[in-house]
Amino acid sequence: MHHWLQLATRNWRVKPGRTAAILLAVALGVGTVVTVTTIYASVEATIAEQIVENWLGRSHVSIESPHGHWGSVDERLAAQVAKLDEVKEVGVRFKTRMNLLIPPGAGVLPRDAYTGTKERVEIDVVGIDPRVEYDFRSFSKLVGRRIEPGDRHVIILDERLAADLGLAVGDTVKLEAYLDEPPEEVKIIGLMDSRRIAVFQKPTAYMQIDDVQAMRGEPNKVSVIDCIVRKEDPQYIEAAADHVRHLLANRRQGYLVTTATGKLKQLLEAQRATRIMLLLFAFIALLTSFFIIITTMSMGMMERVRQLGTMRCLGMTRRQLAALVYAEVMPLGIIGVLLGLPVGMGLTKLGVAYMPYIAEWVHEPVMSRWGITLAVVGGLVTTFAGATAILLHGANVSPLRAVNPQARADRTGAIFVAAFVGAALLIANALMIDYVPPTAWYNATVVFTSTATLYGGYMLLAPALVIVAGTAALTIAAPLLGIRRKLAQDQMGRAPWRSAGVCWTLMVGLSLIVYFFVRGESITHAWDFPARLAGAFVWTQQPIPLRKLDEVADLPGVGEITPINDVICKIQPKHASILSMLTSQSVFAAGDPDTFLSMAKLDFLQGNLADARAKLKRGGYILMPPEASHSFGYNLGDKVPITIGGKTVEFEVAGVVRSPAMDIAVSYFQADSYMMLASASSVLGTIADLEKYFGIDTISMFLFNVNLPPTEPPAEFKAKEPPVVDSRWLAEHMKAWAGRLPHEQKRLGGAADELGGWPAGGTPRPSPALRRELLRYSRSLRDVKAQWNERTAAQRWELFREWLTIEHVKEYINRPGSEAGSLRRLKQDIDSDIRMATLIISSIPMISLLVASIGVANLMMVNVQSRARQIAILRSIGSTKSQIARLVLVEALVLGLLGSAVGVLLGLHSAAATNALTARLIGINVPWVVPWPRVIGAVLLTW
């Protein structure tokens, strides 16, 4: 041996098993962090893509007519907008109304589902430019193929309309651009689900924009010009929109320029909030890896202490001792870190391969740079910390004691000091949650500090818990396994820190699982889209008395409800402009300031909720959408002259507001052009002002949520195919479902006797009352059948029951032909996406738990090895192998119980702290929901 440092490499050769164990521990620890951050980043990217694709859209700036698709925009403007420095890409669309001629033999379309005549049905045809269209929107659920640049006279038709008409890909249909023009024949190349919220929204079809312009005889007409800007930053988007407005102002073109800033802010806010969760997750995974590395290094602790003590006796200084330990451990750490990167990718591939629901979302893993950096730096730091722990343990033992295989440092009072420090750390964590400014939590250092104080506090409390609770638990457990209590307690008390290490490792792994189980369930329940927008609406052109509101609110199934009355009005613009002339007819939408503002949860671009609510209650105030604010030139505090029925009253603007949830719903149901017309020419006032100033005390719309207790869906809703419905089938199943529809019992009432008396054969002749019920059930099933293959049995049943309630409201107000709509489909899609993401995220900690099990095994091995001489003595005085095994087993069971209990407590504590933090960061009060069956299952798996 040429140099004493060669003792380090000699230890690698003498103890190859220990060397391999350290390499494996570091590689698995680093691999765990890489896997966790990679899968999480991949899921986050997929969620963002789903949100953009399904809910927000890719367009950042849009130029539209204030009349939606009833107006027009000059297509030549697109080339001018494309020259702006901020604009990356420009696309155009032309949406117009046409008639589809019903093919001979197609049957009769349900009139309550479509508008038109027996010979033709009205549809919205969207002309697209296939060269750029798919950069803005993808046709992900398309049956058939997309429209390509060279295609002419082809169409992608609404899937539901095609099914009702018996049409398929490859068939031809005839379209009328105008009633007095000959129809043109087009070929169906694809079928697509065009989501509709109500009958007023026509089925949507897609064609080449040149064909649509030619059929309408308007070669340069489009409905909207969409722009993608170069940076997805709200301020950058607004700056680009200002440049577009300036361009339009110079040309005196009366168009509206809208942005996706509000929707993008929601996405960015959600991403920032989820990134906090990712940081927390990664730091906890790093702590798990830390304990794996530490415990693996502890396996050779006893023999190493003796070796180091002998060297101290021979004159080795503490500095030389440190150099020797680091020279042995750090190269292993570096090699382990390098091995950990491919191990992490391998674990990611295994997770994708053996968890199909992850594979559905993670098609291409997204490598997280900061995750890899965290894994590498964390692996090296934890290896260094592990070596330092070994060094401190050896250096704190005197040379004479070190040569004793049972040598250990004095720990007088250390456990109680640690418990005190742990309690102080938990108090510090609680203070951070309550008092650290919300914006500071987007800093990784703050998140890490919070995680460290929480987990550090529980870890420092663990040794005292082992002594107090562990000793008490052994009093019960030892006799059950036939072991003397004092002997078992002696095993626990000899190495409380090492025993606490077992609890730590179990605690960290289990706390991750419990945390994500609880957080995932809570997030699913707290997703505030349903709270930000009413779930259903009923609108009638014939207003009804305001007193009907209380009666409708008492109907079974009707939850929170707010009334609206929309009245045609004239809004005098602040300054005359082309845009103000285009919006000559406007709408005064009157609501209740309490219930409407509570249900809508609007974003205030000017003003604030508290002031606006108070002003609306006082009377004489209105709210304006940003489009109307731009159209008429009014802002917060301005006086707006509004004329209804020849009387003009001045109202003050109490706020300029937008509804992000409404924006999402509009994008989802492809109702952008309808919304543009409404938002550009409407203001929101109060029903009290409408009555006070204009003598109008009616309402035309109910916005409400449907609240029904969950019931088990019947077998018919679990079938793969939707049922074929006729009067007899409906009558029989109305009876069969009665027990599952308790809110329907009173309504069916007398119809039950008639149903029971129907003959087994022949054609039944229902009474008028029963005929109404059959029609209501039939209409309620219609929308469910249209979505049958996309929904689970529970979702079909939920949607059906909601439509029963909506149809009940329509009939109760004696407006059976009124427009109605449900957002249940959107809510279910969002709920499904969130639950799937939650399931994936909750599954990732299982990897950490499996890796943590290595640390548990290592610690138990250390416990047994440290007592080898004692066990030998017990065997020599007559103890059997079974008794020795039970002695080890009773300790393992008690430590497992303690670790599981603390892990559950820590997971619940983490979830509660994050819920409180979520409320402070984004204003969402997340409910406390604990999925106990899954938590108990995780505990049993861990134990």
Q: How confident is the model at residue 675 (pLDDT cuts 50, 70, 90)?
A: very low
**At 486, which amino acid appears?**
K
Q: What is the pLDDT of residues 870-919, one digit of tens each?
A: 788 888 888 888 888 888 888 888 888 888 888 889 888 988 888 787 77
Please give the distance of CA 810 from its chain centroid, rounded to a whole number.
Answer: 33
* Dihedrals phi, psi of 315, to nearest 5 degrees: 110, 5
CA–CA separation, 509 and 709 (whole Å): 36
The rounded distance, in Å, linking the Cα atoms of 95 and 366 is 37
Average pLDDT over residues 680-687: 83
User: Which SS3 state, helix, strand or coil, does residue 201 take?
Assistant: coil
SS3 category, 106 = coil
Written as six digits, the tokens of 449 are 């500090």
| Tens-digit pLDDT profile for residues 799-846 | 999 999 998 999 889 888 888 888 776 666 666 666 666 666 666 666
- pLDDT of residue 750 exceeding 70, the answer is no
What pLDDT was estimated at residue 635? 92
Query: What does the pLDDT average to over 186-200?
Result: 79
Rounded CA-CA distance 235/259 in Å is 11
Give the model's pLDDT for residue 673. 47
So what's the pLDDT on residue 205?
A: 93
Q: Give start and end residues of each alpha helix (H) in 53-156.
A: 77-82, 133-136
The helix/strand/coil state of 606 is strand
In sequence order, the β-bridge partners of residue 173 are: 186
Q: Identify the pLDDT of residue 430.
A: 92
User: Rounded to the nearest 5 degrees, what angle is found at the Cα of 487, between the Cα atoms of 481 and 488?
Assistant: 50
SS3 content of the chain, % helix, strand, coil (to 5): 60, 15, 25
- CA-CA distance, 11 to 884, in Å (whole number)? 31
Report whether pLDDT(616) > 80: yes
Residue 278 has what pLDDT? 63
Which of 852, 870, 869, 863 is closest to 889 using CA atoms?
863
- Tell me how many helices (H) and strands (E) the chain has: 36, 22
Q: Which of 586, 581, 600 shows the shortest CA–CA distance to 677?
A: 586
Q: Is the pLDDT at 265 greater than 80, yes or no? A: no
Backbone angles phi, psi at 456, to 5 degrees: -60, -40
For residue 534, what is the DSSP state?
-
Which position has the higher pLDDT, 597 or 228? Answer: 228
Asked if residues 613 and 590 have their Cβ atoms less than 8 Å apart, the reply is no
| Residue type for position 318 | R
Residue with tokens 């609110």, as numbered in its chain? 553
Q: Which DSSP string do the residues of 731-765 spell out, in sequence order? A: HHHHHHTGGG-GGGHHHHTTHHHHHHT--SSS---
Query: Do the Cβ atoms of 533 and 658 come closer than 8 Å?
Result: no
Q: Is 803 exposed, middle or buried (0-12, 13-18, 19+ CB in 10 A)?
A: buried
The secondary element (H helix, E strand) that includes residue 884 is helix 881-922
Condensed to tens digits (0 to 9), the pLDDT of residues 620-674 reads: 999 988 878 877 889 999 999 999 988 999 999 999 987 755 555 545 445 454 4
Evaluate whether 791 touches 713 at the Cβ level (below 8 Å). Answer: no
Residue 123, CA distances (Å) to 94, 196, 205 in order: 14, 12, 7
Most confident segment among 503-517, 542-556, 588-602, 656-670 = 542-556
From the CB of residue 541, how many other CB atoms can be counted at a distance below 10 Å? 10
Q: Strand, coil or helix: what is 925? A: coil
On the 0-12 / 13-18 / 19+ scale of CB atoms within 10 A, 634 is buried
pLDDT tens-digit series, residues 312-344 = 777 777 787 778 778 888 888 899 899 989 988
3-state secondary structure at position 608: coil
Can you tell me whether residue 194 is helix, strand or coil?
Answer: coil
As a whole number of Å, the CA-based R_g of the chain is 35
Give which of 734, 654, 646, 649 is closest to 693, Cα–Cα: 649
- For residues 767 and 291, give the distance between their C-alpha atoms in angstroms, rounded to a whole number: 75
Q: Is the pLDDT of residue 582 over 50?
A: no
| Structure tokens that stand for 163 in this block | 């099914």
Vertex 33 angle, CA 838 and 327, to 5°? 165
Q: How far apart are the first and last CA of the chain?
A: 47
Q: At 277, which amino acid appears?
A: M
Q: Per-residue pLDDT for 356 more than 70? A: no
Distance between CA atoms of residues 748 and 57, nearest Å:
44
For the segment 511-531, the average pLDDT, to the nearest whole number, is 63
Pairing of strands 87-101, 224-229: antiparallel
Q: Please give the DSSP secondary-structure letter assigned to residue 149.
A: T
Q: How many CA atoms lie within 13 A of 802 on its CB side?
A: 26
Q: What sign does the dihedral 330-333-339-341 (CA atoms) show?
A: negative
Number of Cβ within 10 Å of residue 903's Cβ equals 29
Which single residue is written with the structure tokens 């993401």?
Answer: 837
Q: From 118, 66, 126, 70, select the one nearest 95 (Cα to Cα).
A: 126
Q: Which residue has the higher pLDDT, 711 or 404?
A: 711
For residue 637, the SS3 value is coil
**What is the C-alpha separation between 757 and 338, in angstroms, rounded?**
79
Task: Report how far apart, in Å, the C-alpha atoms of 891 and of each of 408, 487, 654, 855, 898 are.
Answer: 20, 11, 68, 16, 11
Rounded distance between C-alpha atoms, residue 689 and residue 693, angstroms? 6
For 131, the token pair is 């060269």
Residue 153 near residue 187, CB atoms below 8 Å: yes
* Residue among 709, 665, 688 nearest 826 (CA): 665
144 Rama sector, left if φ>0, alpha if ψ -120 to 50, beta otherwise = left
Would the pTM count as exceeding 0.85? no
386 in helix, strand or coil? helix
Q: Compute the C-alpha angle 270/273/275, nearest 5°.
A: 105
336 burial (CB, 10 Å; 0-12 / 13-18 / 19+) is buried
How distant, in Å, are the alpha carbons of 78, 80, 82, 231, 249 from that of 85?
A: 14, 11, 8, 11, 18
- pLDDT, tens digit, 9 for 90 and up, residues 454-480: 888 988 898 888 888 887 888 888 888
Q: State pLDDT tens for residues 129-182.
A: 999 998 888 777 789 999 999 899 999 998 888 988 889 999 999 999 987 788
Please choose, from the candidates 835, 853, 837, the residue with its C-alpha nearest in 3D space to the C-alpha of residue 900.
Answer: 853
